[in-house]
A and B are shown apart, each in its own frame.
Chain A
Amino acid sequence: MQHIDSPVAQKLWDGQVPLRISLHPQDASALNASNYSCFSQYLSVHRFSYLPLIASEVRRFFVENTNLGFSGSDAEVWFECQGIPLKWHYPVGLLCDYQMADIDHSAGPLPWHITVHFLNFPADKLIRVSPDSSIPSIRDAFMSMVKEADFMRHGTIKKVMGLSKQDQTQLWDSLVSHSFEEFWHVNSQLLVSENTWPRYVPLRIYVPGLPVIQEPIPSIDEETDQPYTLRHVLASVLPQYFKPRADGDASRRGSVDSMKRAPDAVALLHGIEAPLGVPLVWLSQNCSYPDNFLHIVIRI
């Protein structure tokens, strides 16, 4: 199962989200920012990146343009969208997909408009960022996911622990510097070897308003030796939203049988609707986030 579809992986790697970042009015007045309502920062951020990696750039922008009186650490910077704090340990692409899927808090058209805060870090809703520097916290969170993914696939975390110290560092550093070749040089060592199947597929499913679903999902049907498709998995985990089989041909449309059943919900991955017939294990190899998880958001 080693084969990587490089053009697909490269395209996903280069995917970006256009962001419009505004300063929160309360923070602005508390920190004596001038003309803050005239300034929004426009940034294009890689979907595979993380918010703490743009914190210092955002801080500089508002300090320079609005004379924001903030001298604290980047660890105090946090972001929200429509009043909901954004989890900094989620990749930006996942945060964006989640917001787009949430009907009650739909983010509207792009650029994705989010708000930056410099005060009152919501410690009851967001994991604290280590005050020394925000980078080790996010690197730890990232490596923790990589190890969890390894454990799910192989039942041990020997693949990650078997990496040289330099390769372990390179995995994160290449994400920060956005170097596709350097990342894949290390990441390809973490995937399952040729002609073997992962024990379980590292997969997290996000339905707005519900706890995150993370279950041990096998990659193949032991009885038939056929790989499970995304539809198999979603119909099993979320039977209320996904049918076990695709709808029949057009001639059946309108029949009582199909009218009774609502259409499938939408599985969002990297900003697009994931085709439900694709084998899960192919998705996992080629379309996982750099933390080696598939993060799939359900739009109902």
Chain B
Amino acid sequence: MVPDGDSLSAKFQADALSYLETSRSSNNPWTLVNHCQIVKTIFNVVRVCREETQSGVLSQGEELAEEMHEEHDLGALPCSSRDQDVNVEFHVIYSQTWQVPVMYFSAWTASGSPLSLDELKAVIKGGLPEIDEQFRTEYGMPVVSQQDHPVLGVPFFTIHPCQTAALLKELTAKSNDPALTPLMSWMSVMGTVFHPLPLINLSYFQR
């Protein structure tokens, strides 16, 4: 017997490879880890109290983050005792159960201690700050919760996938662009939730 997952995740892999191709033009592309997982790490995101500098760092990726880092070293930023470098990791893993991509995300300080959801929300600008662990999907599941990472076995935050399939159906029904895979539609939705993620090269859609 062959578990049905093999053919399903093959489809994910094909979509992921085409997505990776698209993301290559950004300076922080995604990486394919295995047949059902793509990964992106954003290093040196500086957690600061000043809103305007933070969003600048987050939307423009690594290089600017390093510049910020220097500024940070000069002690130019306020509330320096709470400032820390954090690494934010985003993992997109194909769920064999729900048969949709699932976003796993987590962030760590330089000393390796993980950020709580509230702390993460200070780093991630986008739709995430509006949802917390009390929010429920219509199936009564917490929208955001910690789950064991399916590969690493350690806690990551995740958005519950029980409604992703319905969302994808709606998104792809409206599009007649064959290049727009379900994965890419879903990634663009995730991009609005996670602001530091330059998920999609917008010029791709403006052709």
> Residues on A close to B: CB < 8 A?
87, 89, 123-128, 130, 140, 143-144, 147-148, 151-152, 157, 161, 200, 211-212, 214-218, 221, 228, 232-233, 236-237
Q: Is B146 an interface residue when CB atoms closer than 8 A count as contact?
A: yes
The answer to whether B97 and A214 touch across the interface, beta carbons within 8 angstroms, is: yes
Query: Which A-B residue pairs are the 6 nearest by beta carbons?
Result: A215-B3, A215-B5, A127-B146, A216-B4, A127-B155, A211-B151
The answer to whether A144 and B141 touch across the interface, beta carbons within 8 angstroms, is: yes
Given contacts A124-B112, A236-B2, contact A148 B97 (CB under 8 A): yes
Q: Is B29 an interface residue when CB atoms closer than 8 A count as contact?
A: no
Question: A168: nearest residue on chain B (CB-CB)?
Answer: B140
The answer to whether B153 and A212 touch across the interface, beta carbons within 8 angstroms, is: yes
Chain B residues within 8 Å of A157, by CB: 139, 162
Q: Is B116 an interface residue when CB atoms closer than 8 A count as contact?
A: yes
The answer to whether B1 and A216 touch across the interface, beta carbons within 8 angstroms, is: no
Chain A residues within 8 Å of B96, by CB: 214-216
Q: Is B147 an interface residue when CB atoms closer than 8 A count as contact?
A: yes
Q: Is B142 an interface residue when CB atoms closer than 8 A count as contact?
A: yes
A-B contact pairs, 9 of them (CB 8 A): A123-B113, A125-B155, A128-B146, A144-B141, A144-B145, A212-B148, A214-B150, A215-B4, A216-B4
Question: A218: nearest residue on chain B (CB-CB)?
Answer: B4
The answer to whether A147 and B162 touch across the interface, beta carbons within 8 angstroms, is: yes
The answer to whether A218 and B97 touch across the interface, beta carbons within 8 angstroms, is: no
Q: How near does chain B come to A192, taking the closest CB pair, in angstroms?
A: 17
Chain B residues within 8 Å of A232, by CB: 1
Question: A217: nearest residue on chain B (CB-CB)?
Answer: B3
Q: Is B133 an interface residue when CB atoms closer than 8 A count as contact?
A: yes
Q: Is B114 an interface residue when CB atoms closer than 8 A count as contact?
A: yes
Chain A residues within 8 Å of B99, by CB: 216
A212 to B113, CA, bound (A): 24
Q: How near does chain B come to A105, taking the closest CB pair, in angstroms?
A: 15
Question: A223: nearest residue on chain B (CB-CB)?
Answer: B1
Chain B residues within 8 Å of A123, by CB: 113-114, 116, 155
Given contacts A151-B98, A200-B4, contact A124 B139 (CB under 8 A): no
The answer to whether A128 and B155 touch across the interface, beta carbons within 8 angstroms, is: yes
Given contacts A228-B1, A236-B3, contact A143 B140 (CB under 8 A): yes
Q: How near does chain B come to A166, taking the closest CB pair, in angstroms?
A: 14
Question: A158: nearest residue on chain B (CB-CB)?
Answer: B139
Question: B153: nearest residue on chain A (CB-CB)?
Answer: A211
Chain B residues within 8 Å of A140, by CB: 141-142, 145
Chain A residues within 8 Å of B173, by CB: none
Q: How near does chain A come to B123, taking the closest CB pair, in angstroms?
A: 16
Chain A residues within 8 Å of B179, by CB: none
Given contacts A214-B96, A218-B1, A228-B1, contact A127 B139 (CB under 8 A): no
A87 to B148, CA, bound (A): 9
Q: Is B154 an interface residue when CB atoms closer than 8 A count as contact?
A: yes
Question: A148: nearest residue on chain B (CB-CB)?
Answer: B97
A147 to B152, CA, bound (A): 23
Q: How near does chain B come to A273, taking the closest CB pair, in angstroms?
A: 22
A87 to B149, CA, bound (A): 13
Chain A residues within 8 Å of B152, by CB: 211
Chain B residues within 8 Å of A128, by CB: 116, 146, 155
Question: A211: nearest residue on chain B (CB-CB)?
Answer: B151
A109 to B23, CA, bound (A): 53
A237: which of B3, B114, B139, B153 is its contact (CB, 8 Å)? Answer: B3
Q: Is B200 an interface residue when CB atoms closer than 8 A count as contact?
A: no
The answer to whether A221 and B1 touch across the interface, beta carbons within 8 angstroms, is: yes
A232 to B2, CA, bound (A): 9
The answer to whether A161 and B139 touch across the interface, beta carbons within 8 angstroms, is: yes
A212 to B5, CA, bound (A): 15
A89 to B146, CA, bound (A): 11
Chain B residues within 8 Å of A228, by CB: 1
Q: How near does chain B come to A107, taking the closest CB pair, in angstroms?
A: 19
